[in-house]
Structure 1
Amino acid sequence: MKRFVRVLGWIFLSLGLIALAIILFFSYRQMRSESQWVHRDATAIVEVKSDRIFRELAANALWNPSAYFGSERDTLADTVLQKLRPWNLGVSLPANVYFFSLPSGESSYFTILPVDDLPRLQQVLSTALNTSLNVENSSNWCGRTEDKSLYVVGNERYVVLGWNPSKTDTIVEPMQQMLASQDDFIEIATLKAGKPKEATGDIVFWKPGEASFWSMDFRAGEIVIAGLLGDADWRFSNKPVGAIFPENNILSVRLLADIRPWLAKHEDMLQAQGLPWKDIEPYLGNYWELQWKNEAVLQADTIITYDYDDNFEMVEKRELRNETVPDLTLSFMASPHLLSYLPEKLFYKFYKKQAGQLLILSTNNARPAQGQELVPQTDLLYVRYQQPEIWNAPIPMPTWLQKIERADIAGTQGAEQTINVSGTFEFTNGNLHPLKHLLSPKR
């Protein structure tokens, strides 16, 4: 009996020492990650807690081995990229990876990491970017994705990754300057003193010295989001009202805010749709509503072409074509004068109507012109999305969105002119980690 107790004690002692070693290892990595470099003038920080995410994935794999290793494993996902391991990337991947933006280009985000194995790193990046790197020598090499959304610039000591939503080449010059000199860089620990205490998710967006933030937390089968928005940036309404949405809508969105500052930053997008920003800006209000119903709408459109007749004279030909489109309705508060500026055809043909202070654009001409009654609401932001069992009028959607079964987001008035945002994204399989869903090519 004493021998059994002694053996059991040694087992527990060994397990305790292993657990202590693991805790100390991750604590050391966490401490080391606080010395990661960011620009001293960074206007925003995106914090990716890589160690925490890897631990979540490992635990999820233990609970769902068949989805990761067994018969249910998606063999289509066995690409070279997805077989990469975090300990063999050619860089020292810290416990937390910090991306930062610069005052000169707030839409782009950068991170700088030390190089461990240059040939391995260049091999990994060639695979990840799906392109050949431009390598002049070990101290000057670069690459990018085909759509220019992701750039990489490096030398034998450091590599700079840049995410570029605007997809322009202007991102390269500041990345090269970062490699040439690190005089303007400081440790992230210096800026983290200004990080909001509520921002505790797996991925966090925050601005140094400001209370606003966005947080994303991964759980089995869902992503939980939380955020705090400054009212000064969005100018939300003080008296929220809105329509009562039908429960069977695919998508219902309501926003009571002045979004003109945001639209002003996307003039090119509006211009591409035939909407001159300077002409429409004075007429816009602070109420926006979108409904996507699971109904098919038949639209008739006249196609005009030209051809030569038997006398070799150019003649006009008109052909009536029917097209099945989704039932979309956009309602927003604006002056009636705006109707004359709105084109009839955007990505679909929209019928224009007026209902009191609201302008209504709908793909369904049978939609009542009076609109729905606006009643008092508790939320200033409301989003609900749910996949129907049968799509009556499907539209092309990115693969990642097809994997989300339901999404609910709400924003309510907070203290001191702030808006509290919370929500969840539920995936089709409630047992798997969200990244397992998103990285799989299957729906």
Structure 2
Amino acid sequence: MKKFLIITAAIVILLLLSYFCFFKYREIQANNISIPVSTNALLKINVDELYKTIAVSYIKHPNQYSGADKKGIKEKVNDLNTGLKIPASIYLYSLKGKVKTTFFSTFEIADTLAFHLFIQKKSFLPLIKKDSNFFQSKDSTFFILFNKTTVAFAYTPKKEQVKTTLVEILNPKNMIKVGDSRFNELVNLSDHISFQNTENFSKINFTDGKINFSNEFINQLIEPAAKPQHRVLNPESTVSMWLNAKFKSDSLKKNQTGSSALFSKNNFFRFYKDYLDFEWTNTITQVDTVVGYEYNDDFERVEKKILQDRKIPYISMNVAANDREVSDYLKSLGALDQSTGKISSAIIPLYQVYFKGNNGNVLLSTVKSAKPDLKRALSNDFFYFKVDFKKLIKQTPMPVIADKLGTFSQLEIKAKGIGKDKVKLESELSFLNKDANALIQLLKTFRNGLNNTLNFNFSVGSPASK
């Protein structure tokens, strides 16, 4: 028995070592690619890490990945056979002199016959043959050019001319290895998707029931508070947000407008004093006056006012501002009922909104009796936003919202300053289903809005001979 256990353990260790070496070899190969020296943005899709994450999820929750529409293995393999060798990581890059949204990449051809069959008949995006080895989509946004060993492709939403660039990519000159370029930080990242350009460094990961996103970026618009503070908002709110930062003077000049509306950019920057928060706690009943007409006994048309109950959000917005200036401004417009604090519907339509000002704070609320608690708590974040989709759907009975957001549970976003003119933003999107991988759920959620299925070959085995 002891000998059997030793042999079993040795086999398991050897399998794990083989597994590690196999994926490590693929990783080294993928990260050894070259990109044009004119690359100004690079997107990395870590295919193998996605495989591993989804495989573990499948082992843990196999019932999440079965269904009546499940195809047989043979049919799936046939559908996914593009004839391309999919590396451990896919790199897509944009180039200087091209539109920022135009991206290029290359793939090795593993099976010439399968590849030709794919582009002619099985492509997820119908292609039009322009030359013997040059194809484009009907909407002129996707292009491929290939030789005997390699395929170069371009995706350009702006329908930019890219054939010359694709020729240059297939006949590589002025290239540099990714590890030797200014994008070398991306090479060793295990994140599922990562992106870098001169202003941004982003990462996305798909785990069971969650999508995590982070972005470090250059910020020219606002100056975060040195020691951020915020009002303690209700953790059970449907939507909550705070911002503790000042807008830089240059951005104020650029955004000035001549509008007299209370929430125009000009007036917002005029009154705003480095802090605001917003909270939607629940749903309340608001009584509206509806004006109608009827005929009296003398057949004269007379006005009749009817009180009507309406379900609306309980919304409160606090802004650090000179409350006397805001009050005087609203009075000058004839938009403030001084006896009730009600703001004219011409200024804020849809809901009855009430104004209260005290101690350098302005409170706007759909509840007349609302009173702000101005006590603040310290935070590492100068910005925070959260939305509870379950409550949002319940409190906003609109089929469109339920259809698009019914899969999600909560979105939470935080931002903090990490240096001069630099901000780090982190967000987490949670799904109601906490067991299935978030990427799979996302694809299922939006597949009805896609015209076709994406049929990429994600085989990681040895490529077939040409």
Other-structure match for 1:142: 136
- Secondary structure of the residue aligned to 2:166 is helix
Is the counterpart of residue 392 in structure 1 residue 395 in structure 2?
yes
Report if the CA contact (8 A) 1:203-1:216 is conserved: yes
Post-superposition shift, 1:284? 7.4
Structure 1 pair 23/294, CA: closer, same or farther in 2 (3 Å)?
Answer: same
Other-structure match for 1:181: 168
Report if the CA contact (8 A) 2:240-2:387 is conserved: yes
Structure 1 pair 9/416, CA: closer, same or farther in 2 (3 Å)?
Answer: same
Report if the CA contact (8 A) 2:287-2:307 is conserved: no
Other-structure match for 2:450: none
Aligned equivalents of 1:384, 1:23: Cα separation in 2: 39
Structure 1 pair 246/423, CA: closer, same or farther in 2 (3 Å)?
Answer: same
Report if the CA contact (8 A) 2:32-2:177 is conserved: yes
Other-structure match for 1:120: 118
Aligned equivalents of 2:177, 2:162: Cα separation in 1: 18
1:53-102 per-residue CA deviation (whole Å, 9 max, x = no partner) reads 01111121111112213xxx3x46879xx957896234332211223344
Post-superposition shift, 1:415? 5.4
Post-superposition shift, 1:154? 0.8
- Secondary structure of the residue aligned to 2:160 is helix
Aligned partner letter, 1:220: D
Aligned equivalents of 2:134, 2:263: Cα separation in 1: 43
Report if the CA contact (8 A) 2:223-2:248 is conserved: no
TM-score w.r.t. the length of structure 2 is 0.65
Aligned equivalents of 1:250, 1:17: Cα separation in 2: 52
- The alignment-based identity, stated in percent, is 16
Structure 1 pair 417/155, CA: closer, same or farther in 2 (3 Å)?
Answer: closer
Post-superposition shift, 1:347? 9.8
Other-structure match for 1:424: 428
Post-superposition shift, 1:221? 2.5
Aligned equivalents of 2:377, 2:131: Cα separation in 1: 65
Aligned equivalents of 2:266, 2:63: Cα separation in 1: 58
Report if the CA contact (8 A) 1:223-1:424 is conserved: yes
Structure 1 pair 278/436, CA: closer, same or farther in 2 (3 Å)?
Answer: closer
Q: CA RMSD in A?
A: 5.0
Deviates more, 1:329-338 or 1:216-225: 329-338
Aligned partner letter, 2:116: L
Is the counterpart of residue 89 in structure 1 residue 82 in structure 2?
yes
Other-structure match for 2:383: 381
Aligned length: 398
Other-structure match for 2:47: 50
1:94-150 per-residue CA deviation (whole Å, 9 max, x = no partner) reads 211223344557752524122631331455543xx5xx33332343322277xx9xx
Aligned equivalents of 2:123, 2:368: Cα separation in 1: 51
Structure 1 pair 383/180, CA: closer, same or farther in 2 (3 Å)?
Answer: same
Is the counterpart of residue 237 in structure 1 residue 229 in structure 2?
no
Aligned partner letter, 1:134: I
Structure 1 pair 219/276, CA: closer, same or farther in 2 (3 Å)?
Answer: closer
Post-superposition shift, 1:52? 0.5
Alignment of 1:23-422 (within 5 A): 23-69=20-66, 73=67, 75=68, 88-102=81-95, 108=101, 110-114=103-107, 116=109, 117-121=115-119, 123=121, 125-126=123-124, 129=125, 132-143=126-137, 151-157=141-147, 158-162=151-155, 164=157, 170=158, 172-173=159-160, 175-182=162-169, 183=173, 185-191=175-181, 194-195=184-185, 200-207=190-197, 213-230=201-218, 234-257=222-245, 283=270, 285=272, 286-295=274-283, 326-327=313-314, 336=326, 351=353, 355=357, 364=366, 366=367, 373=374, 375-378=376-379, 379-388=381-390, 391-395=394-398, 396-397=400-401, 401-414=405-418, 418-422=422-426
Aligned equivalents of 2:317, 2:95: Cα separation in 1: 35
- Secondary structure of the residue aligned to 2:29 is helix
Report if the CA contact (8 A) 2:145-2:153 is conserved: no
1:397-440 per-residue CA deviation (whole Å, 9 max, x = no partner) reads 38564322233333344456654444533322222221232222
Post-superposition shift, 1:380? 0.4
Aligned equivalents of 1:278, 1:104: Cα separation in 2: 34
1:28-54 per-residue CA deviation (whole Å, 9 max, x = no partner) reads 211121244544343433322111001
1:351-407 per-residue CA deviation (whole Å, 9 max, x = no partner) reads 585747667776x3x356875526253120212232446713245438564322233
Aligned equivalents of 1:199, 1:16: Cα separation in 2: 26
Structure 1 pair 90/236, CA: closer, same or farther in 2 (3 Å)?
Answer: farther
TM-score w.r.t. the length of structure 1 is 0.68
Other-structure match for 1:313: none
Deviates more, 1:39-48 or 1:224-233: 224-233
Aligned equivalents of 1:221, 1:26: Cα separation in 2: 25
Aligned equivalents of 1:106, 1:287: Cα separation in 2: 37
Aligned partner letter, 1:204: S
Which structure has the bigger radius of gyration? Answer: 2
Structure 1 pair 254/276, CA: closer, same or farther in 2 (3 Å)?
Answer: closer
Structure 1 pair 178/190, CA: closer, same or farther in 2 (3 Å)?
Answer: farther
- Secondary structure of the residue aligned to 1:248 is coil
Deviates more, 1:48-57 or 1:283-292: 283-292
Aligned partner letter, 2:223: R
Report if the CA contact (8 A) 2:202-2:214 is conserved: yes
Higher relative contact order (CA 8 A, sep 6+): 2
Structure 1 pair 278/50, CA: closer, same or farther in 2 (3 Å)?
Answer: same
